[in-house]
Structure 1
Amino acid sequence: MAADTHDEPGDRPDPDAAVRGQRVLDLLDRAIDLQTPLVRKNITRARRRNADATPAQVIRSLERMYVSALTGTGAAVGGTAAAPGVGTGLALALSAGETLSSLELSALFALSIAEVHGVPIDEVERRRTIVMGVMLGGSGSTTITKVAERTGQHWGRQVVAKVPVETLRQINKILGKNFITKYGTKQGIIVLGRVAPFGIGAVIGGGANAALATLAVRAGRRAFGPAPTAWPEATYEDAQG
């Protein structure tokens, strides 16, 4: 009896999934493009709180600002989306808008930490590696060091700042696939949670975002290691205007 050569439904490519995945990456690129010009202003804002702050103190301030902002955004959207009278369609639209905001906050955080550490962010592939690597955490770190064929700690300094751009492109192709799978799935769960009954959505939204932010903070610490002991000669005064 001839073997059945028909593909099972689960084996066939899903064009809709490919489109959704590309939308996630497009949102990520948009977030990076929007936030890159604001990196130095973000660092300046953190330094204003203490003119004598060391790089390590500024990094801790950036971490607190990031966790607070991302948690607040998730809770606000969760509460609004679940409020009486808000339809499911509008609730999902609000959450979709908040996804871009979350990406923007995460991009700004990751690139700001890189800047404090003196890691160049002047090239788009480097920025993509930094942002996706931080947001993917341990799996991002493993991918980056494996493709770059480098060992040791702190890939932010050992890989992003040193390997050729062509290598970063190869890294980003793999990170992009992982980002679509892991980040897209997490956001889908969070979005559905925000449409829960009033009050529960705010808790889920804020709590989920806080967890994501905390993981990104830990990943940033592993990626770049100890903060510089002093600021470079160039300051961020030009960003204060």
Structure 2
Amino acid sequence: MTDGAGQRVLDLLDKAIGLQTPLVRKNITRARRRNPEATPEQVIRNLEKMYVSALTGTGAAVGGTAAAPGVGTAVAVALSAGEFLGSLELSALFALSVAEVHGVNIDDLERRRTIVMGIMLGGSGSATIGKVAERTGQHWGRQVVAKVPAATLKQINKVLGKHFITKYGTKQGIIVLGRVAPFGIGAVIGGGANAALAVLAVKASRRAFGPAPEKWTIAGELAS
């Protein structure tokens, strides 16, 4: 699917990645500040909790507002469209932050796209990357940065993009309809849908990068 609507979804993804990339290290610093003695694994778990909580809260808030008495369908759809970009930003920040904690520095937009789409697509994203890259084994997140040639990466992103549009373009409409529901029900549907997406993304990130490193390597920092 490469029509206008589908391309807009991918454009929003690139916008979200562009907005959140400069904030990755700030996000990790904020997570570490809560517990200066935290290990990389503990920080990743904290990032996971913050991500699930933030995405769930966003969905519930928009769902509740969209379902409130007096809010028309057009307004509800507009609210959900705005939340979609917010959800993409949260997901991009989470995926790239986890990569950074693992010491996987991604300074190439094409590779950032692969990481974010692969994690947001869950198991299907992992399968697609392995198939197109003709690589097997665990922790594809590291392979994408270190071993996959640029030409192959573009092929991967082309396939991932089609799946991404299907999941977050077409099927997003189902979630939007769910939010245009009697007051109170919309919040439950919105929050529940986003929570499910967040949990799948967390599981995908663990598959992508594997166990957390024992020492900090961000910006030259090494644990003592």
- TM-score, normalising length from structure 1? 0.88
How big is the shift at 1:18? 0.8
How big is the shift at 1:235? 5.5
The correspondence of residues 1-241 of structure 1 with structure 2, limited to 5 A, is 18-232=3-217, 234=219
Q: What CA distance in whole angstroms lies between the structure 2 residues aligned with 1:187 and 1:62?
A: 25
Give unmatched runs, 5+ long, in structure 2.
none
Q: What CA distance in whole angstroms lies between the structure 1 residues aligned with 2:63 and 2:219?
A: 42
How big is the shift at 1:185? 3.1
Aligned-residue sequence identity (percent) comes to 83
Q: What CA distance in whole angstroms lies between the structure 2 residues aligned with 1:152 and 1:203?
A: 38
- Structure 1, 86-95 or 202-211: larger mean CA deviation: 86-95
How big is the shift at 1:233? 6.5
- Counterpart of 1:107 in structure 2: which amino acid? A
Give unmatched runs, 5+ long, in structure 1.
1-13, 237-241
Q: Is the 8 A contact 2:100 2:218 kept in 1?
A: no
Tell me which stretches of 4 or more aligned residues in structure 1 moved more than 6 Å: none
- Counterpart of 1:210 in structure 2: which amino acid? A
Greater Rg by CA: 1
How big is the shift at 1:162? 2.2
Q: Is the 8 A contact 1:79 1:199 kept in 2?
A: yes
- TM-score, normalising length from structure 2? 0.95
Deviations 1:168-219 (A, max 9, x none): 1111011001111122233211111111110000000000000000000000
Aligned to 1:234, the other structure's residue is in SS state helix
Deviations 1:33-72 (A, max 9, x none): 1110110000011000100110000000000000000000
How big is the shift at 1:120? 2.2
Q: What CA distance in whole angstroms lies between the structure 2 residues aligned with 1:106 and 1:129?
A: 13
- Counterpart of 1:94 in structure 2: which amino acid? L
